[in-house]
């Protein structure tokens, strides 16, 4: 699903000059906070597009409650998807084919097991959410940047107070 989105923000040159004065470790954390804010929008869209089914599961096991936004391999990137508890989403997304048991021992007759029809929803949810996330970031970039910088400054101040 490695979709990447590129967009341009007006006034970004001034912001980049300001961020160049901040140490690299803080800029990665600030960029992560910005990406996480956009990831939350994609997460909401994914939650809304999950097929419901018969809902016989407890709320902690329902797929819409198992969407996550976590760190990716890069220091500032985020991963939006479903956690391991929602393993059955692969069956819903891709579907299954008819399979036949081997029929051994007492039950010699082979039995056919049914199929799960494909209901692809993940990629379409990402495609619908991408423009919303870009619009949100472009409209609120400076506000989100200010919030992320304040958060990192608070962490540094609290760390120095503890020493």
Asked if pLDDT for residue 1 goes beyond 60, the answer is: no
Question: Residue 69: which H helix or E strand, with range?
Answer: strand 67-71
Domain count, the chain: 1
Q: Is residue 7 part of a domain?
A: no
pLDDT digits (tens, 9 = 90+) for 94-108: 998 888 888 777 767
Tell me the C-alpha distance between 57 and 100, whole Å: 27
* Residue 6 located in a structural domain: no
Indicate if the pLDDT at residue 5 is higher than 80.
Answer: no
Give me the mean pLDDT over the 43-58 stretch: 81
Domain that holds residue 138: 12-162
- Please indicate, yes or no, if residue 2 is contained in any of the structural domains: no
pLDDT for 111 equals 78
Has residue 128 been placed in a domain?
A: yes
Proportion of the chain above pLDDT 90, given as a percent: 9
Residue 157, domain member (yes or no) = yes
pLDDT score, position 86: 84
Threshold 0.95, pTM exceeds: no
> How much of the chain exceeds pLDDT 70, in percent?
84
Residue 103 lies in a domain: yes
């Amino acid at each position: 699903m490695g979709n990447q989105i590129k967009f341009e923000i007006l006034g970004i040159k001034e912001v980049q000059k300001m961020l160049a004065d901040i140490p690299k470790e803080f800029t990665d954390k600030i960029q992560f906070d910005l990406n996480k804010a956009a990831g939350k929008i994609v997460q909401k869209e994914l939650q809304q597009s999950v097929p419901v089914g018969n809902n016989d599961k407890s709320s902690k096991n329902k797929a819409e409650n198992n969407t996550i936004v976590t760190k990716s391999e890069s220091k500032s990137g985020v991963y939006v998807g479903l956690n391991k508890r929602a393993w059955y989403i692969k069956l819903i997304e891709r579907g299954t084919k008819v399979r036949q048991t081997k029929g051994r021992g007492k039950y010699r007759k082979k039995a056919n097991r049914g199929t799960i029809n494909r209901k692809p929803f993940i990629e379409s949810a990402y495609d619908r959410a991408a423009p919303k996330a870009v619009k949100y970031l472009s409209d609120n970039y400076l506000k989100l940047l200010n919030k992320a910088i304040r958060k990192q400054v608070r962490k540094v101040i609290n760390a120095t107070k503890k020493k």
